[in-house]
Structure 1
């Protein structure tokens, strides 16, 4: 069945403007220049009621929710969206509270902040909140937007641990189940800035059917119909396609030893490029060959 909702996954460090600085008002014009073309503006443009959309900022992943939540509210208000609240769920019991579930039911957009993706899955997984989240995404004109941890947790398979420098040593990358909004992919964040290409390589070589998605900071993917992906934001999206892998030593080596992989296909996307999860074909928006 066709998925009605939209998924917006972001690599972290979304440029919301310098809202923690004391000279905010003096720099408002500079900040708004980002908003005109940036990811938060795109989220509003894609939402059901645009500036009137009901938005819940969910800070569950963060250890500093009282600082993070208001920053998003302020950023969205500068764009003209004022129907925004912070929903901080810190315990599983809260994810079962009928009042909190009712707030999700009324939302047009949820914005999951960064932090620890294991907090998201361990607190929300299997609760009425999680069940409703999936139902709304599949059946309504609804947006799940997640940055950093909120992006990593969106898929069925989720990276939750792994050193960047040691990532191509067998067993170094830890994977568990995510929130399950999208299947057939695995997502890593802060990708370019923290040198996480090896983490994605190891994740894909273990099951080449899964497409690896590496999101740079202030960069994301807008996914519609569960399969059409468009790059948004200012940086790069790296895709790792393992379906054509010809050889690897993965099952022949001990834990902690380096992994060899032959013929791993990668794609690099920038703003407005598209990729189909149906055909595995990428389209470069500004191709030099058109």
Structure 2
């Protein structure tokens, strides 16, 4: 993301129905849209170019219930005092070439992609003028791309679009395609802790260890800036899967459907305010127990020598 002026805010979800391959999601989602992201949505406003005056466009393309989900996000942003919020229902590719819609996206300071099905999102928007404008603005302007669930998963150039959680470490169970390509060399999975998706990310990374796996828990997000700095936001966990130190795997030796072995896969766990530098691959824990330097054994010995020794009378 070097030389990029825009910011990426990806959120783990909790408001969508999940991907089409998962069946264990809430039946009555419209009544359960709790804006866990109140803190994250507020951060989106704060990071935007004009704050509460920024033009925010909510885009519901990934959702199968766009007219229920979209207005809830508009209400949430307005509750947080955002004064200029719009809603786009883009459900067909030709709409992503409509001059009126293109003018609106050109004028936007923030886009907020809701959850749903990331393959629906990329198949409708990928390669359109709408997509081109977002990439151009993200590179050259103080523009915020925010996405929750499917909107987050689609942000990278590599995108997981299918794969059950329980069978994720069987060869061939995880399906990957191209995303919207706002960020390179990462792959993002969402609803990560709650749906037990760590195996999906392991398989995605072992197939191309250059790619950093990012697993976002619910009520959790990452703020990624153009200098490659990632900051954990929200109350949950971000799991990073780094495959660069992998020593061995049986990935190419086993048949489809058979378990995958991986030796020396590195995992980091981030929580609120922790940071990770994509350039140096170094993580910093915000509230580290080692921020206060410990006295070394040599220093400790030096202090003992420097301390006045009690006299025999004092010892008595």
| TM value normalised by structure 1 | 0.93
Q: Distance in 1 between matches of 2:103 and 2:240?
A: 37
Q: Distance in 2 between matches of 1:189 and 1:33?
A: 15
Q: Distance in 1 between matches of 2:35 and 2:270?
A: 25
Q: Distance in 1 between matches of 2:202 and 2:196?
A: 12
Question: Does structure 2 conserve the Cα–Cα contact (< 8 Å) formed by 1:209 and 1:243?
Answer: yes
**Residue 25 of structure 1: aligned partner:** none
**Residue 177 of structure 2: aligned partner:** 176
Displacement of 1:32:
9.7
Corresponding pairs, count: 278
Is 2:104 aligned against 1:114? no
- Structure 2 residue runs of 5 or longer lacking an equivalent are 17-29, 292-316
**Residue 139 of structure 2: aligned partner:** 138
Q: Distance in 2 between matches of 1:164 and 1:10?
A: 19
* TM-superposition CA deviations, 1:20-57 (whole Å, max 9, x none): 77xxxxxxxxx99973xx10010011011100000000
Q: Distance in 1 between matches of 2:246 and 2:50?
A: 44
Counterparts in 2 of 1:174 and 1:33: CA distance versus 1, 3 Å: closer
Displacement of 1:88:
1.1
Counterparts in 2 of 1:208 and 1:189: CA distance versus 1, 3 Å: same
- Structure 1 residue runs of 5 or longer lacking an equivalent are 22-30
Question: Does structure 2 conserve the Cα–Cα contact (< 8 Å) formed by 1:154 and 1:178?
Answer: yes
Aligned residue for 2:157, secondary structure, equals: strand
Q: Which portions of structure 1, spanning 4 or more consecutive aligned residues, are displaced by more than 4 angstroms?
A: 31-34
**Residue 42 of structure 2: aligned partner:** 41
| TM value normalised by structure 2 | 0.85
Displacement of 1:111:
0.2
Q: Distance in 2 between matches of 1:65 and 1:242?
A: 37
**Residue 231 of structure 2: aligned partner:** 230
**Residue 26 of structure 1: aligned partner:** none
Give the CA RMSD over aligned residues. Answer: 2.0
**Residue 259 of structure 2: aligned partner:** 258
Q: Distance in 1 between matches of 2:192 and 2:116?
A: 15
Q: How does 1:16-55 map to 2 (within 5 A)?
A: 35=38, 38-55=39-56
Q: Which has the larger radius of gyration?
A: 2
Q: Distance in 2 between matches of 1:68 and 1:169?
A: 34
Aligned residue for 1:137, secondary structure, equals: helix
Is 2:186 aligned against 1:185? yes
Q: How does 1:86-165 map to 2 (within 5 A)?
A: 86-165=87-166
